[in-house]
Structure 1
Amino acid sequence: MAFGQFLKQIESFSNWKRGVYMSQAYHESS
């Protein structure tokens, strides 16, 4: 059960990292 929550945290972290990367690329392109 703790492992499932761990995977969820990793998934949300990767999503957050991707969001930061996308926003950075967006700001650089404009």
Structure 2
Amino acid sequence: MKSMLEEYGKIVVVSIVIAIMIGAAALLRGAN
């Protein structure tokens, strides 16, 4: 059970990081 929660946590962290990167890229495009 613990291992599954850890795997899910990794997926959540990765998805959040990707979303932040996409948002930052969109803001930079909008600024330029």
Shift of 1:17: 0.3
CA distance in structure 1 between the partners assigned to 2:7 and 2:16 by the alignment: 14
Q: How many residues get paired?
A: 30
Supply the AA of the counterpart residue of 2:31.
Answer: S
- CA radius of gyration, larger in: 2
Q: Which runs of 5 or more structure 1 residues have no equivalent in the other structure?
A: none
SS of the residue corresponding to residue 16 of structure 2 reads helix
2:28 to 12, 26, 29: 26
* Identical amino acids, percent of aligned pairs: 3
- CA RMSD, 1 decimal: 0.3
Give every structure 1 segment of 4 or more consecutive aligned residues whose post-TM-superposition deviation is greater than 4 Å. Answer: none
